[in-house]
Amino acid sequence: MTAEDGKKQLLHLVFGGELKTLGGTEFRDLDALDIVGIYPDYQSAQTAWKAKAQASVDNAHMRYFVVHLHRLLDPDTKAAD
C-alpha cells in the first residue's frame, strides 16, 4: 500500500455517534453513526476528528474515534502513529 508520492499509505477511519453511557463505547443508534471519512495518514485523520469533536462539544454523549484501518488490513505494519 504505497501512495503516488512514494509514502506508505496508512489508512485511518474517523467516525462517531451518540453513546449509550458516558463511560462506554456502545452507540445508541447504529443507523445514525457519522462516518466522517477515510484518510491517508494519522495527521489528517486527527485533524478531521478534532474538528468533529469540537463541533459536538455541547453533546456529552457524542464521541468521535480514529480507527487505524492499516493495522486491520496489514497487522504486521510497524508504523509510528
Question: pLDDT for 21-68, tens place per residue?
Answer: 999 999 999 999 999 999 999 999 999 999 999 999 999 999 999 999
Domain-by-domain residue ranges, the chain? 8-38
* Longest CA span, the chain: 43
Residue 20: pLDDT over 80? yes
What one-character-per-residue DSSP string does 46-65 give?
A: HHHHHHHHHHTTT-TTEEEE
Give the H or E element holding residue 39.
strand 34-39
Q: Among 35, 33, 43, which residue's Cα sits nearest to residue 13?
A: 35
At residue 81, does pLDDT exceed 60? no
